[in-house]
Amino acid sequence: MAEDLIRAGFKKWVFDDTEFNVPERYQNLEPKGGGAQGLVCAAVDTLTQQNVAIKKLSRPFQNVTHAKRAYREFKLMKLVNHKNIIGLLNAFTPQKSLEEFQDVYLVMELMDANLCQVIQMDLDHERMSYLLYQMLCGIKHLHSAGIIHRDLKPSNIVVKSDCTLKILDFGLARTAGTTFMMTPYVVTRYYRAPEVILGMGYTENVDIWSVGCIMGEMIRGGVLFPGSDHIDQWNKIIEQLGTPSPQFMAKLQPTVRNYVENRPKYAGFPFEKLFPDLLFPSDSSEHNRLKASQARDLLSKMLVIDPQNRISVDDALIHPYINVWYDEAEVNAPAPGPYDHSVDEREHTVDQWKELIYQEVMEYENSHGNNGRPSSSSQASPASNSTEPNGTESLR
């Protein structure tokens, strides 16, 4: 990028073939990897002395899908404010005008690891139930804004060494629904609920299935339903859990129902067999007295193919395996402002999305000062919660 296009007070960092142009307040940038949506760097914010993660959105104006996703992510990050959902500390562009505008940077709290790494650890019942409790609190908060995630997975959930957890993204837009016959995988669909795989309607407890898949993986140490495509995914589910009832089949679209009904019939296995005692940590001797039988009971209520019979988020939060951490202020935190779902259905050209995103970035910068002063609603490091398992060393 030509130097004269970069605003004053910005500094360029280069990592392989990726340029980061960020305000000078951010120092010691270090690449931390990233996914389809962009590269992430760790940095020190010299203004607040806080360690932060700076995400450069990957070619947000490459096509309509990318532009729409960038707009949606930015809008939602501005909207939500909950300790279990990643907060926006700052947002900026290094370019000086809409004509030159091409890069969007989001600044967030720096976390220590994603859940993929944590799943490989030997977690005791305290840590496992506390991580699940926080996931459920974050999901409940999103639901209170009318945001149903539908795509929770370990790579998009991050944790700190003190066992605090945050959900990192906002899932699928309403219009990004999948249909059963769509083939090859571009992204991981191992954690998506049957109703998403089968192209059915869905309600809030679609996200409970994903939590169940994550919990099962924590216990088993491997992915529960590692399908190579939608069809293989469905087969993996019914081989373990059994063919669903005719009442469930009746809700499917005719072409999907025809396929599903013609699969071999499976009886499935009892949860005692799918998740035997030897896979669980030993029963807790702490005051919580958490045990394998409680964990298995919760799992059996989450991993239910028919969403009508699946446990709700509210009921999961008061389940004996989870409610030892119950804190009214966390479970029923003030709801975010309602999310305008018309964004997900809106049809715009790339240039129109680009202008909308530019307006959002400018509005954010103007309301926070061009220095990008952290907003009052942003998430600084959460205060240590006295109910956290074993204090600050808990994931080390």
> What is the rounded CA–CA span in Å between residue 207 and residue 302?
10
Token pair 């090859």 is found at: 184
103 classed as catalytic: no
DSSP H helices in 17-124: 64-79, 115-119
Task: Collect all residues with Cβ–Cβ distance below 8 Å to 10 and sequence separation of at least 6.
Answer: 21, 22, 23, 24, 94
Q: Exactly one of 103, 151, 169, 207 is catalytic; which is it?
A: 151
Query: 191 exposed, middle or buried (CB, 10 Å; 0-12, 13-18, 19+)?
Result: buried
Contact 289, 233 (CB under 8 A): no
Contact 197, 177 (CB under 8 A): no
Task: Collect all residues with Cβ–Cβ distance below 8 Å to 258 and sequence separation of at least 6.
Answer: none
DSSP class per residue in 106-156: EEEE--SEEHHHHHTS---HHHHHHHHHHHHHHHHHHHHTT-------GGG
Active site amino acids: 151
